[in-house]
Structure formats: structure tokens, C-alpha cells
Amino acid sequence: MIDMKWLKEREEHQEEVQKVADQKGISLSISELMELDEQRRTLLQEVEMLRQERNQLTQDISVLMREGNRELAEPIRLNVKNINEQLTVEEKQLREIEAAYTELLMLVPNIVSPDTPIGTSDQDNVEIRSVGTPKMFEFQLRDHVELGEMHKMIDIPRGVKTAGSRNYYLTGVGVLLHRAVQQLALDMLVSKGFTLFDVPLMVRTEALMNTAFFPLGKDQTFHIPDENKWLVGTSEVPLVSYYSGETVDVTEPLKLAAASLCFRSEIGSAGKDVRGLYRVHQFAKVEQVILCEANHELSERMLQEITANAEELLQKLELPYRVMAVCTGDMSQKTYKQYDIETWMPSRGTYGETHSSSNLLDFQARRSNIRYRDQEGNMQYCHTLNNTAVASPRILIPLLENHQQEDGSIAIPKALQPYLNGMDRIKP
């Protein structure tokens, strides 16, 4: 949530936020929001004055009745009746205006960093750096689906038979590989001071509203109507919600991590990435979340740190990748600054997104009401950040394809071998 005091302070701030909303593709009128805010505050003052007047008159009636002055009390009683009728009308108007105001307020985007590229889609993202060189194969490549079927690791037809499109089974060594990359990521994060969590996968609507995944992300989220709960698409939601409504100690940044199943409806992706494991309904992620003091320099440093953690994992997996600065049109409502990490996928002949890092400033903490006391004892909202340390089975695409051998075997990176009982190669 944007700081409304800051937004109302200057017209330039309103123009900036309107510009960002347009760039992020959010249908929103800041001038309408400001108008509703003015109407809301004016009507609220009127309602409060009427309530005060009614309360005072009610007390006057009580005094007169105790004194036996029923005749004097009667016209005052009629006045109270008229005020109540007026209040009924104005309170209804206030509720309607407040509802419209809140609806617009929940659409207001976070501002973006000065170094965020301007663009309309991921085609306008800007490469920051690339690490590793895509390997040139001197034999006929197999994609991850072929390799997975050859080694009895991946079974998509039975996944579709059981659960519908964009579903799959991992079997045998595929499961071991899937779990190995997650455990490698978790061990790495623990060594860097992260606290591990096992989190709820079903959350209440307010958890998704407070973390700014709703209202704009509802179409990507699976709903459980009877429970009025939702399946999370990332453990960022329950990790941030862990501290919602609380005052926390961020003398040192709070570093949280979780490995969890995640669910995504993939609405709007019909016909897109239909082959294989790139875009599926159920997957697993190891997520990093940081809460820190509201200091731009500090949260920028934390952004670089969590991005470096994801890069370190890819280097351990011996995979070529590149880091992209995400443009305005490819960013979510809540994001101030974002990097995507794309890993080389031979079967696609290009890089594919496997990781994402975001700095949200205090936008998410305002909505979740997570605060801390600064050195002067004043309450401040935290800055929050998040990063996907690894997501599987998507990471299996580059892992299998880049390490395949001519005979169909797959070399296991050294960092993963301890998690696979010393196995250095998956043989046909």
C-alpha cells in the first residue's frame, strides 16, 4: 500500500503514481481516488458531528426526564429522531464511498526505482550480466521430456490422465533430483543465516490482500470456496503473513526461507509452453524473504544479496544464466525493483526464467501492518524483499538438458552428488 500522506502531499506524487499505474497496465484513476478521499473525509466529519450532536441531545433528554420536564424533552426527542434519519442516509453514503475508495486504494501500485527500465513486456527487460557460456552440442539434442521418459523420471501423460492439463508425475531418480536441488538450496540458505519455515499452503483472503497478491492476482490463484481459502503460489505469502499486525525487531534483517508446494492456475496461458515442465499447475519453490529497516540503501543491499544467493545456486548446478532488470510493464503492482534470472535451456534455444528477486520497499508491510521502532522510538513500516532460490520442476529443464551426454546419460553436478548418494551420472 502506498503512503497516502505522501501521495496527497504533492501533485507530482500523484502524477508519478498515475504514470506507474499506466506503465504496469493497471486500470486506475488517481484523480478519482483523490476525489473519493476528499468526499470520504468530508462526509466522515459530517457523520461524526451528527453523532456528537445526537449524543449530547440524548444526554439532555435524560436530564430533563429525571427533572420531570417531559414537555421540554419532547421536541428534543423529535430532533434526535430527525438526526437519526439523516445519519441513516449519510452513513450509508459513507459506507458506499469508503468501499469505492478502498477498492481503488487496493489497486494503487508501488512506485518504481529510478533504474527500472521502461517497457511493456518481458521483451523490454534489460540484461545486466550473463554468467557461463551455453554449451555447443555435437550430437542430436534431446529435450527434458525425452530425457525424462528415457530415464523414467517424468511421466506427463499419466499426470494429465489423473489431474488434467499442465500436470505430471516425477518418478524414481526424477524425485530424488527434484528434492536434491531443494535441499541444496536450503542448506545454502541456512549457512547464510536464514531461518527455515514449514508454512501453510492454504491461506485466508486477507493474507493475499495484505501481501498484495490480491486483488489483481485472483485469476492466477486456486480457490477453495467451502473454506473460503486459497492455495498459495509462493511461500512469500505465509512467510510475510507470519509477522502481520506485529511490531518486529529488525536491528538485524529478518531472513526467512521455506520449501513448499505452490499452485498456479495459469489463466491466460492457453497454448503457451504446453510441452514439458515449464508452465505447470503444481510445483515446489525454495523462497527467500527478508524484512529490514526502511532504509533504501539497506534494502538495495539485501536485494543484491538474495539475487547473489540464487546465482550461487545456479553456479553450483553448473548452468549458464543471465540476470535481467525487469521493466515496468513486466512488474507486478507491489514491486519497486525486480531482477529475473534466466537459465539457458537448450531445447528452447534461449534463456528461460527460473528465478525472480524483488524489493517492495514498505508497500507490502503497510498492507500487512508490520512495523518496527527506529532508533528514536518512532514506529516505521519495514521494507520487505523476496527471491526464488530455486523452483522445481522448472529447474530440471536446464539441469537435464545442459548436462546430457551423447549416450543419453546425464552428468550430475558435483554440488548435487552428496544429495544423490554420490551418484555422478544418471545412466540410460
Mean pLDDT of the chain: 95
Per-residue pLDDT reduced to its tens digit, 78-122? 888 888 899 999 999 999 999 999 999 999 999 999 999 999 999
Measured CA to CA in angstroms, residue 297 lies from 114, 226, 329, 359, 401 at distances of 14, 45, 25, 11, 39
Give me the pLDDT at residue 62, please.
83
C-alpha neighbours within 13 Å on the C-beta side of residue 185: 33
C-alpha neighbours within 13 Å on the C-beta side of residue 299: 27
- Over range 316-339, report the average pLDDT: 98
pLDDT at 178 > cutoff 70? yes
Q: Which CATH number fits domain 4-105: 3.40.50.300, 1.10.287.40, 3.20.20.70, 1.10.1370.40?
A: 1.10.287.40
pLDDT at 303 > cutoff 90? yes
Segments of the chain assigned to CATH 1.10.287.40:
4-105
Give me the pLDDT at residue 369, please.
98
Q: Averaging pLDDT over each range in 1-10, 62-71, 306-315, which range is the top one?
A: 306-315
pLDDT at 270 > cutoff 90? no
pLDDT at 6 > cutoff 70? yes
Per-residue pLDDT reduced to its tens digit, 368-400? 999 999 999 999 999 999 999 999 999 999 999
Give me the pLDDT at residue 80, please.
84
Give me the pLDDT at residue 16, please.
96
Band of residue 271 on the pLDDT scale cut at 50, 70, 90: low
Indicate the fold that domain 122-426 takes in CATH: BirA Bifunctional Protein; domain 2 (3.30.930)
pLDDT at 268 > cutoff 80? no
pLDDT at 304 > cutoff 80? yes
Calpha distance 122→287 (Å, rounded): 22
pLDDT at 68 > cutoff 80? no
Calpha distance 31→425 (Å, rounded): 62
Segments of the chain assigned to CATH 3.30.930.10:
122-426
Cell numbers of 108, please?
494503487
Give me the pLDDT at residue 269, please.
63
pLDDT at 273 > cutoff 80? no
Give me the pLDDT at residue 64, please.
82
Min mean pLDDT across 119-128, 253-262, 269-278, 323-332 is at 269-278
Give me the pLDDT at residue 78, please.
87
Band of residue 59 on the pLDDT scale cut at 50, 70, 90: confident
Residue with the bigger pLDDT between 275 and 248: it is 248
CB count, 10 Å around CB of 368?
Answer: 26
H/E run at residue 272: none
DSSP designation for 420: G
Give me the pLDDT at residue 60, please.
81
Band of residue 200 on the pLDDT scale cut at 50, 70, 90: very high
pLDDT at 171 > cutoff 70? yes
Calpha distance 364→332 (Å, rounded): 12
pLDDT at 266 > cutoff 90? no
Q: Name residues whose C-beta falls within 8 Å of residue 320's C-beta, 6 or more positions apart in sequence.
A: 130, 131, 132, 133, 134, 135, 343, 344, 402
Cis peptide before 393 (omega within 30 of 0): yes
Scanning 24-110, the segments in alpha helix (DSSP H) are 30-66, 70-105
pLDDT at 147 > cutoff 90? yes
Give me the pLDDT at residue 38, please.
95
Specify the length of the chain in residues: 428
Q: Which residues are catalytic?
A: 264, 279, 353, 356, 394
